[in-house]
Amino acid sequence: MPSILSPYQLGGITLSSRIVMAPMTRARARDLKPDTDTATYYSQRAGAGLIISEGISISEEARGAVFIPGLYTDEQIRGWQAVTAGVHARGGHIFAQLWHVGRAGHVSHNKGKAPVTSSATRGNTMTFALDENGVPARLPQSEPRALDISEMPRLVEEYATAARNAMKAGFDGVEIHGANGYLPEQFINGALNKRTDAYGGSIENRLRLPLEIVDAVAKAVGSTRTGLRVAPFGRFNDMHAYDDEEATWCTLASALSKRQLAYLHLSDQESLGQTALSKDIALKMRKLFGGTMVIAGGFGFESGQKAIDDDRCDLVAIGRPFIANPDLVERYRNGWPVVPNDPSKFYGGQGPAGYIDYPTYPESLKQ
């Protein structure tokens, strides 16, 4: 089996290794757009074979927390242009993760309007939103409303527009965030989605919106520039078990196999303290999908290589180790030490601390 450090051809781009930087929200966009620190942060990590950006809101309605950057205004697009230029200047590649949180939102994010979802059941999860005094606080998600069937075309179009904006911003592709209990999964999950129209009920109906999104985005930017991230059997964001769960994920993998996507990205939430993604399901989905498979969740150099050796995936996405080790791939290549993370610095914060002040290993020797 190939080395995790060897190049990989992903559609039209050649990745320098099979190590992907997993999408990681940092909640630092005070003006909802990336700034020069964001550009520095990503360019420092351009040694990843592929970077998947933090989740980026496709619209105001889509945003789930304070300080999340968007991709729906000219200013935001300009901010991302600086990010992608910095990554490309250092020989890297970067996809934009397109994010709509659905019900996992709050009225303070969208001018008092309720978050939208498949069926109007509130998630038992907290979100970082603005309290009645406009101060950021951990608050329960707001009461959502079910999307009307007449709204589906405009929702799908918002994903396509965000994908086109990602191209204007210079991204190499986009990843649709269908994992972790956000909007697409709120339609897929049969325990939450109790709709009686064409978007609920049967597996085919529950997969309708996610597949419409995939098709619209692929049409907008090209299928080989379109990836999808899902978290089969994930319970994050108050997702519950349902009867035909395995059949649902397998049907999705089969449906995607016909679409020539850049990749299918499975997020295993076990390393985040949730239930594990079973190897059996992941292998079944890999077989049914047949294209490039990315797996994320708790990997390092050796375990990542093992996942490739076991033919579980083509690319290994690594998250948290990239935060404090901007030159993670170089550290792996040279057998240099990987420093631990400080989770208190993951979200929020302003300025360089905990964001762009992590040295490369050679720099650390000079300090």
Ligand X SMILES: Cc1cc2nc3c(=O)[nH]c(=O)nc-3n(C[C@H](O)[C@H](O)[C@H](O)COP(=O)(O)O)c2cc1C
Q: Which one of 25, 118, 121, 292 is in contact with ligand X (CB under 6 A)?
A: 25
- DSSP codes, 71-124: SSSHHHHHHHHHHHHHHHHTT--EEEEEE--TTS--GGGTTTPPPEESS----S
Using CB under 6 A as the binding rule, whether residue 185 contacts ligand X is answered as no
Residue 24 contacts ligand X per CB under 6 A: yes
* CA–CA distance, 181 with 2 (Å, rounded to integer): 33
Position 54 contacts ligand X (CB under 6 A): yes
Per CB under 6 A, the list member of 11, 47, 55, 184 interacting with ligand X is: 55
CB 325 within 8 A of CB 47: no
Q: CB 192 → ligand X: shortest distance, Å?
A: 19
Interface residues for ligand X in 82-101 (CB under 6 A)?
A: 97
Give the whole-angstrom CA distance, residue 299 versus residue 285.
19
Site for ligand X in 321-350 (CB under 6 A): 346
- List the one residue from 51, 83, 296, 315 that touches ligand X (CB under 6 A): 296
Residue 133, burial from CB neighbour count under 10 angstroms (0-12, 13-18, 19+): exposed
Query: Between the CA atoms of 274, 280, 285 and 288, what dihedral angle is there, to the nearest 10 degrees?
Result: -170
C-beta closer to ligand X: residue 8 or 322: 322
Q: Check binding of 28 to ligand X (CB under 6 A).
A: no
Q: How far is the CB of 150 from ligand X (least distance, A)?
A: 29
Using the minimum distance from each CB to ligand X, give the nearer residue, 227 or 319.
319
Length of the chain: 367
Q: Tell me whether residue 11 or residue 319 sits nearer to ligand X (CB atom).
A: 319
Three-state secondary-structure class, residue 242: coil
Specify whether 182 is catalytic.
Answer: yes
CB of 261 to ligand X, least distance (A): 16
Report the alpha-carbon distance of residue 94 to residue 41 in Å, rounded: 13
The span of 6-14, 76-84, 274-282, 314-322 binding ligand X (CB under 6 A) equals: 314-322
Give the contact letters, 254-293, x = binds to ligand X (CB under 6 A), - = no. -------------x---xx---------------------
Restricting to residues 123-182, which ones interact with ligand X according to CB under 6 A?
A: 177, 179-180
CB 329 within 8 A of CB 93: no
Asked if residue 93 lies in contact with residue 21, where contact means CB atoms within 8 angstroms, the answer is no
Residue 319 sits in the site that holds ligand X (CB under 6 A): yes
Rounded (10°) angle between helices 36-44 and 74-89 = 30
Residue 95: beta bridge partners?
Answer: 52, 173
* Chain contacts with ligand X (rule: CB under 6 A): 22-25, 54-55, 97, 177, 179-180, 229, 267, 271-272, 296-299, 318-320, 346
**Positions marked active-site:** 182
